[in-house]
Amino acid sequence: MSAIRGVAPHDVAGAVEAYLDDAGLAPAGRTSEDLTSDDVRIAESQGGWTTVTWPSYFAPHDLAACRWLSHELHTVVTAATTTDDEGWSHTLFGCGTLLDRFHSYPAGLAWDDDDVAGLAREWAGDFELVARVVGVDACGIRRHFCQAPSGARDHPGRERDGYLALWSGLGIRVADAPPYAVLAVDPAWQRVTAR
């Protein structure tokens, strides 16, 4: 899921459509009655943020799309990626530049003997930077930059939807209403990785 600051849903939908067209993914307009997990959904703006829900299979390809959207729309874009048992991540872009990234459960990123401590440092995030870029009080979001240690079972960092509390602290609200726009994605979505 992504949130784009200060850009109207119409403009976000046009930019997402351009990104998908450029990637050869041929989006087609759909009605909210035809929603599937393979669609991109753009919500109405709330509090100055327009949210985009990517197809369920799209992560981590959404990061390339978010970087592009941030560059093309000259704005801040935040992306949240979740997994069922391995926490969530938050990535922040500004005008196409990666500014910050955080993962709530770094051990979930490790393959076999990877250095979990190194991954934890790499994905620690900088709550003060995020607060400064978004324009919120750092004290209000600091607690969301807490990583679950390896092997922890009942740690807030393992919660799939933990990013929603961070987003709330950033002023981002996820719309609970029919989407503003729905774009279908061509089944050949894997080509987006070539970007």
Please check the confidence at residue 194 and state whether its pLDDT lies above 50: no
Distance CA(89)–CA(81), nearest Å, equals: 5
**Looking at residues 94-117, what average pLDDT do you find?**
85
Domain span at residue 144 reads: 2-194
Q: How many residues does the chain have?
A: 195
Number of H helices, E strands in the chain: 5, 7
CB count in 10 Å sphere of residue 22:
11
Gap between the Cα atoms of 58 and 61, Å rounded = 5
The 10s digit of each residue's pLDDT in 55-82 is: 877 777 889 999 999 999 999 999 998 8
* pLDDT number for residue 162: 80
User: Which of 28, 41, 35, 75 has the alpha carbon at shortest distance from 175?
Assistant: 41
Q: What is the pLDDT of residues 7-66, one digit of tens each?
A: 999 999 999 989 988 877 765 665 556 667 678 899 999 999 999 999 877 777 889 999
Q: What pLDDT, on the 0 to 100 scale, is given for residue 98?
A: 98
Residue 191 pLDDT > 80: no
Higher pLDDT: 187 or 23? It is: 23
60 in Cβ contact with 81 (< 8 Å)? yes
User: Tell me, what's the pLDDT at 108?
Assistant: 80
What pLDDT was estimated at residue 177?
85
| Structural domains counted in the chain | 1
Give the CA angle between residues 128, 134, 137 to the nearest 5°: 50
Q: Is the pTM of this model over 0.85?
A: yes
Q: How far apart are alpha carbons 34 and 50 in whole angstroms?
A: 21
What pLDDT is stored for residue 46 in this prediction? Answer: 93
Number of Cβ within a 10 Å radius of residue 112: 4
Is the peptide bond prior to 9 cis by the omega test (within 30 degrees of 0)? Answer: no
Instruction: Summarize pLDDT for 133-165 with one digit per residue, the tens.
Output: 999 999 999 999 988 887 776 666 666 678 888
> Do 42 and 181 touch, CB atoms closer than 8 A?
yes
